[in-house]
Amino acid sequence: MSTTDATTTPLRARAAWASLERHHGAIRERHLRELFAGDPMRGERLVAEGAGLYLDYSKNRITDETIGLLLRLAEECGLAERRDAMFRGERINVSENRSVLHVALRMPKGESVVVDGVDVVKEVHEVLDRMSAFADRVRSGEWKGHTGKAIKNVVNIGIGGSDLGPVMAYEALRHFSRRDLTFRFVSNVDSTDFVEATRGLAPEETLFIVSSKTFTTLETMTNAQSAREWSLGTLGDDSAIAKHFVAVSTNAEEVTKFGIDPDNMFGFWDWVGGRYSMDSAIGLSTMLAIGPDGFRDLLAGFHALDEHFRTTPLERNLPVLMGLLAVWYGDFFDAQTVGVMPYSQYLQRFPAYLQQLTMESNGKHVTLDGRRVDYQTGAVFWGEPGTNGQHSFYQLIHQGTKLVPVDLIGFGKTLNPVRDHHDILMSNVFAQAEALAFGKTEDEVRAEGTPDAIVPHRVFEGNRPTNVILAEQLTPYALGTLVALYEHSVFTQGTIWGIDSFDQWGVELGKVLAKRIIPELESETELAHDSSTNALIRRYRALR
């Protein structure tokens, strides 16, 4: 298969696609009960391991033939070639004409990727070293605020990728975090977010990190201006800004205009997408919380999974398998969503983080060369930590009419051993995967003496697919591997669908319209929208 074939043949015209369609017709009616009964080793065979993660994908509605065909599809779509092109720094983000090099953010010192004559890994480490020096100064109390007091509170202001990664990582790695520092996160332009995040904090002990790749995002700039007023309201003069504001951005010009000293700016590059940036300087709050060494462990985890993705044969490659299975369910079984259920309270924001990663990446309806797709692309990702989800929406997954493939994530050891909590927690991971796959038959329900009329209500059809992902413990390293796992699964899916997983044009229109509407809310100007928008604006004018 030449590179040209890989990019020009429409997906549904590929030989492997046609084979998968036929194969789906045969497998659709087969039950996991039957597949397991016919293959006693299935649960030990259909697993893969890498970078400290164990993936059990045996409870999927697949056979060896399915995997073979999906791998053939990956080959026909040029997955390995596109992956290698990404690692080489080629401009695979075609609609923005950019390289896609988040993998360079976690390459060890000494490795090199040259883009336009510049060794980006060297630049990455220069920023990391500056971040580390800064983090050490703040954490040790050497960095003093305007009145000479040490920093006790860190407030990250950002939105989307400049917020979700930092919040998720802060929550996930709380165990490793400095407990005598307070961390808060402001993202929403709803002033409530800012007011509640700064409530009770003393400006003289508070450091704001203004995180924005572009440094033009309306929400972030509005919150940053309010933070500035909040600080200066107490600290008085403008010179306080240098001690209480740092910026993380690719836009030095706008940072300077805002009044932040470029010496207090930590840069990154246009080849880091916002949703792929938590391991860049956008992770400054993470580094302040867990320290430079912890942050480097996080990067090492990312890198270990990158290496797994780059070098492991596709049939044993965790993100490739997960990505192909997502395509299998989305395109052949018509599954619209994927549930991600981390059995860890620390991972409570992981599903929200994954929503941007997956849906901003793969929620696209045109191919790289601009053709409308005639197949399904990115699923809706959603989830909640187990076991909470079990007592709310799992009912629908077990007995509803929709097929929801689910990822269940668990850990061998808890960071907070208390009595037998962890065994109870993990028993639920295994029980849910078992119940979803095998269900409970009518005969089994009857054998329990259930009255006839109630039997149908108590039957579990089963045949609901799951991936179970296990790691030893939720360390910074393990978090890095988990995030990279999903990043590369997203890449795999996007490559099969032939879409640009690294642009996000779909967020633009709403932003432009909001900017047009803002002055219309503040004055009685004539309105020229559709009748619904006009009426809503008039109603708001009356209410405000």
Binding site for ligand F6P (CB under 6 A): 159-162, 212-214, 217, 220, 274-275, 360, 504, 507
d(CA 80, CA 86): 10
For residue 249, the minimal CB distance to ligand F6P (Å) is 8
Contact 473, 413 (CB under 8 A): yes
Choosing from 360, 384, 487, 520, the catalytic residue is 360
Q: Give the span between the Cα atoms of 287 and 248, in whole angstroms.
A: 13
Nearer to ligand F6P, 159 or 368 (CB): 159
What CA–CA distance (Å, rounded) separates 418 from 85?
A: 47
Would you call 511 a catalytic residue per the annotation?
yes
Distances (CA, A) of 266 to 260, 270, 518: 11, 14, 32
Q: How far is the CB of 77 from ligand F6P (least distance, A)?
A: 25
Which CB sits closer to ligand F6P, 215 or 302?
A: 215
d(C-alpha 105, C-alpha 161), whole Å: 15
Q: Are the beta carbons of 383 and 351 closer than 8 angstroms?
A: yes
Catalytic residue among 29, 44, 229, 391: 391
For residue 230, which of 187, 199, 184, 261 has the smallest C-alpha distance?
Answer: 199
Minimal distance in Å, beta carbon 41 to ligand F6P?
44
Residue 440, phi then psi, degrees to nearest 5? -145, 125
Q: How far is the CB of 272 from ligand F6P (least distance, A)?
A: 10
> Environment class of residue 401 by beta-carbon count within 10 Å: exposed (0-12), middle (13-18) or buried (19+)?
exposed
Q: Which two tokens stand for residue 58?
A: 């045996």
Angle, helices 218-235/508-522, rounded to nearest 10 degrees: 50
Residue nearest to ligand F6P (CB): 274
Smaller CB separation from ligand F6P, 150 or 517: 517
Question: Whose structure tokens read 């509803």?
Answer: 400
The active-site residue out of 109, 421, 511, 515 is 511
Shortest CB 105 distance to ligand F6P, Å: 15
Q: Closer CB to ligand F6P, residue 99 or residue 504?
A: 504
Q: Would you call 515 a catalytic residue per the annotation?
A: no
Alpha-carbon torsion, ordered 467, 468, 474, 478, to 10 deg: -60
| Closest approach of ligand F6P to the CB of residue 82, in Å | 21
What is d(CA 328, CA 543) in angstroms, rounded to the nearest whole number?
49
Rounded Cα distance, 339 and 380, in Å: 8
Integer Cα distance of 466 and 482 in angstroms: 17
Half-sphere exposure of 363 (CA within 13 A, CB side): 16
Q: Residue 323 Cβ, how far from ligand F6P at the closest point, in Å?
A: 21
- Give the relative orientation of helices 218-235 and 191-198 as an angle to the nearest 10 degrees: 40
Cβ closest to ligand F6P, residue 331 vs residue 360:
360
Q: Which is nearer to ligand F6P, 475 or 504 (CB)?
A: 504
Which is closer to ligand F6P, CB of 223 or CB of 367? Answer: 223
Query: Does 360 participate in catalysis according to the annotation?
Result: yes
Residue numbers annotated as active site: 360, 391, 511
